[in-house]
């Protein structure tokens, strides 16, 4: 059963009624270490791939794009939220609807003082980073919500819509 916080989050999207019924839901907590980025990616990909009877017309390219968006959100939590402190925990929630996928990544790290600035392409907090994480998320997802409070953490929510295959002009 979907948690109350995911139901509340769904209410933040104007068109959520068009997503259809909830088909599957997963929640995972893991150590904030780089090795677990692939765990998050694989969890989301497996959830999509596990439904062969689905009407989603998902290409391998689309699946890779979703995995990149998830990787960027989780990497941001690990690198920027926790500063690489792998004793911390990242939370991942995935909710699969008939026609949408909702992914939420939560950290309780340092937070973001200026979310609008952080979402600008090429903005980075360190020279060793490209500053393209949010740009990739926004390119590969239909919507990206970022909620952050300094010293309390950040929640990134990714929405990918999957219109019925018969209604889609192009496959995802």
Q: Is 171 part of any domain?
A: no
In-domain check, residue 170: no
Kindly report the CATH number assigned to the domain that includes residue 107: 3.30.565.10
The confidence score (pLDDT) of residue 107 equals: 97
Calpha distance 148→102 (Å, rounded):
18
Query: Is 103 strand, coil or helix?
Result: strand
Q: How far apart are CA 49 and CA 116, in angstroms?
A: 34
Give the tokens for residue 80: 């920027």
Q: Does residue 169 lie in a domain region?
A: no
For residue 2, pLDDT beyond 60: no
Global pTM reads 0.86
In a domain, 168, yes or no: no
User: Pairing mode, if any, of strands 22-31 and 143-149?
Assistant: unpaired
Cα–Cα distances in angstroms (integers) from residue 19 to residues 23, 75, 79, 122, 160, in the given order: 11, 28, 32, 33, 10
pLDDT in tens, 113-145: 988 888 877 666 666 666 678 999 999 999 999
CB burial string 37-73: b at 16+ within 10 A, e below: bebbbebbbebbeeeeebebbbeeebbebbbbbbbbb
Residue 98 near residue 21, CB atoms below 8 Å: yes
Per the structure, the count of domains in the chain is: 1
Tens of pLDDT, residue by residue over 5-41, are 566 666 666 677 778 888 888 999 999 999 999 999 9
41 located within any domain: yes
Q: Is the pLDDT of residue 102 over 80?
A: yes
Range of the domain at 115: 4-10+21-161
- Decide: residue 101, CB within 10 A, 0-12 exposed, 13-18 middle, 19+ buried: buried
Residue 52 lies in a domain: yes
Q: Would 140 be classed as within a structural domain?
A: yes
């Amino acid at each position: 059963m979907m948690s109350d916080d995911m139901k509340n989050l769904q209410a933040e999207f104007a068109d959520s009624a068009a997503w259809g019924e909830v088909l599957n839901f997963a929640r995972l907590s893991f150590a904030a270490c780089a090795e677990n980025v692939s765990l998050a990616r694989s969890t989301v990909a497996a959830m999509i791939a596990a439904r062969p009877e689905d009407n989603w017309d998902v290409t391998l390219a689309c699946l890779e794009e979703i995995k990149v968006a998830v990787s960027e959100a989780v990497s941001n939590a690990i690198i920027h939220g926790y500063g690489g402190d792998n004793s911390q925990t990242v939370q991942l929630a995935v909710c699969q609807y008939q026609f949408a996928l909702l992914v939420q990544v939560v950290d309780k790290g340092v937070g973001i003082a200026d979310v609008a600035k952080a979402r600008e392409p090429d903005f980075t907090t360190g020279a060793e980073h490209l500053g393209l994480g949010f740009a990739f998320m926004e390119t590969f997802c239909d919507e990206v919500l970022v909620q952050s409070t300094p010293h309390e953490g950040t929640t990134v929510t990714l929405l990918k819509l999957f219109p019925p295959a018969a209604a889609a002009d192009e496959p995802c």
